[in-house]
A and B are shown apart, each in its own frame.
Chain A
Amino acid sequence: MSFCLKFVMPSDPRYLCVVRGAIGPLAAMMGWDESDCRAITLAVGEAVANIIRHAYHDSAGGSIELECRENADGLEFILLDKGDAVDRTKICARALGCDQPGGLGTHIIKDVMDTVSYEATAGGNRFIATKRLRKAI
């Protein structure tokens, strides 16, 4: 039986620390080192924060579902929300290294995760990211 962790939470940034408190230990238990655990936790936190900011416009009244699934290669993170659709023109739109604030979260997610997708479905927005665990040969 594979592991699956599911959060259903309001779009309130106070819950971000709860998510982080679970993702880091989960990644460590799967075998990632401390640096990777921090990066994975950061990337998932950025994805949730993006929903709060951009799908729900900082309103705490929305709902967010986060599933973390263990698979043969590593972990899969699925986020669902019913807020505004993702504006694809803003994904990694700002160049890295520029001295303007904002737009860095999607770069972090893309850099840390192995695959990332953003989908609009009838039930809302779905974000899926995977992180492979590279086993020592």
Chain B
Amino acid sequence: MRISIRDAGDAKVVEVDGDVDLGSSPDLRRTLFDALLHASKLAVNLAAIRYIDSSGIATLIEVLKDSQRRNKKFVLFGLSPAVQQVFHLTHVVRIFQIFQTEDEALGSV
């Protein structure tokens, strides 16, 4: 799994590439929690994720809950077919704010 972060105004855009599983999700968790401290909004691009398991989903839920506690925005965009399938299996689609594109994700209130 590779993670990169860039600034987009007051927001940060996080790109995640590869497999998110029990071994790699702690790295994703640390990165997202840290990035959330330094931005009013975090937008995570999930387009390049080939595999994500329940530990990855749990990580995203943890960061969402933390963003809510901090009154910050946490949004997802560009869900790959693998991510969409796991979101469907785990019924978490309604929990997150999900967008097709980065522009839509960054433009959301």
Task: Show the binding face of A for B, using Cβ within 8 Å.
Answer: 13-14, 16-17, 20, 35, 38-39, 41-42, 45-46, 49, 52-53, 96-97, 99-102, 104-105, 107-108, 111-112
Shortest Cβ gap from A39 to chain B (Å): 7
Task: Please judge, given known A-B contacts A13-B23, A17-B19, A101-B62, whether A42 and B91 are in contact too, CB under 8 Å.
Answer: no
Q: Which of A14, A49, A53, A108 sits near B90, CB closer than 8 Å?
A: A108
**Contact of B48 with A by CB under 8 A:** no
A contacts with B: majority SS: helix
Q: Does B45 contact A (CB under 8 A)?
A: no
The proximity string for B residues 19-56 relative to A, scoring 1 for CB distances below 8 Å and 0 otherwise, is 10111000000000000000000000000000101110
A42-B64 in contact given A49-B53, A101-B59, A102-B58 (Cβ < 8 Å): no
Q: Is the CB of B23 within 8 A of A104?
A: no
CB-CB under 8 A for A16 and B21, given A38-B82, A39-B85, A112-B89: yes
